[in-house]
Amino acid sequence: MRCAPVAATRSATSTTRSSSRRESVRAGFQAGLPFAVAAGLLAISFGVLARPVMGTVAPIVMSAVVFAGSAQFAATAVLGAGGGAVAAIVAGILLNLRYGPMGIALAPSLRGGTLSRAAHGQAMIDASWAMANLGGGRFDPWFMVGATLPSYPVWVVGTAVGVLGGELIGDPDRLGLDAIFPAFFLALLAEGELRSGRKAIAAACIGAAVALALVPLVPPGVPVIAASVGALLGLSRRNEAKSARGTGE
């Protein structure tokens, strides 16, 4: 998970597309391993939390077919509070809606037919998507697949461990694991996107400000989606050129 060297290797190999696919998956797999460990511990805590709500089988099935941490936690919390299926589904969907704009960001880097692109989208989890981001609007989709590969089985097995015997392990928050993902996203921002130009910095600032302002006002999940408006700065490219020529208004 040495971020800068990995990114450098990826951009160097991305020119020889077909031969680099296996390399990308392998590099992604290696980069994804530490996050699989974190995902496993998170899955254990999900299993512990979900067992009194849903029993032993349902949480494991949920992890296998939904495979989205925050949505699973949210839906389970709603069910546990007696909120019913509709409220649980809405809570889960809202948290997963961010995969819409994330998928749009990924889309220009995808080749192949509709089915193949739809399948690629299934490999989107936050950390893998973020690691596969090459900056400047480009992604390495096979790196993302590789990075997600170790997390999936660990997520399902970890849930089972949590359901069947999680009390023995104790509270994973004790280890500070919940700080890992935001710190990692911050590191990727600082090392990648924020060095790729003033516009990326401005988009990040707008995204952060919008999310911060909206969280107390709207349901969980919506602030991240709304942060997409920061990307509208991309429209101003032509304006910049205009004002450089002195024709801006």
Q: Could you tell me where the beta strands, DSSP code E, fall in the chain?
A: 133-135, 138-139
**Per CB under 8 A, does 137 bind another protein?**
yes
Helices and strands counted in the chain (H then E) = 14, 2
Judged by CB under 8 A, the chain residues 49 through 108 that form the site for another protein are: 53-55, 58, 61-62, 65-68, 71-75, 77, 79, 84-85, 88-89, 92-93, 96-108
Residue choice 27, 43, 154, 189 for contact with another protein (CB under 8 A): 189
Q: Do the beta carbons of residue 36 and residue 154 sit within 8 Å?
A: yes
> Of 10-18, 20-28, 154-162, 167-175, which segment contacts another protein by CB under 8 A?
167-175
**Per CB under 8 A, does 170 bind another protein?**
no
Residue choice 19, 235, 246, 247 for contact with another protein (CB under 8 A): 235
Q: Do the beta carbons of residue 181 and residue 122 sit within 8 Å?
A: no
Judged by CB under 8 A, the chain residues 15 through 54 that form the site for another protein are: 34, 53-54
Rounded to a whole number of angstroms, the minimum distance from the CB of residue 168 to another protein is: 19
Which pair of structure tokens corresponds to residue 159?
């849930």
Q: Do the beta carbons of residue 121 and residue 99 sit within 8 Å?
A: yes
Rounded to a whole number of angstroms, the minimum distance from the CB of residue 42 to another protein is: 12
CA angle at residue 51 from 162 to 42, to 5 degrees?
40
Judged by CB under 8 A, the chain residues 191 through 210 that form the site for another protein are: 191, 193-194, 199-201, 203-208, 210
Interatomic CA distance for residues 221 and 228, integer angstroms: 12
Residue choice 8, 183, 241, 248 for contact with another protein (CB under 8 A): 183
Rounded to a whole number of angstroms, the minimum distance from the CB of residue 133 to another protein is: 5
133: phi then psi, degrees, rounded to nearest 5: -75, 120
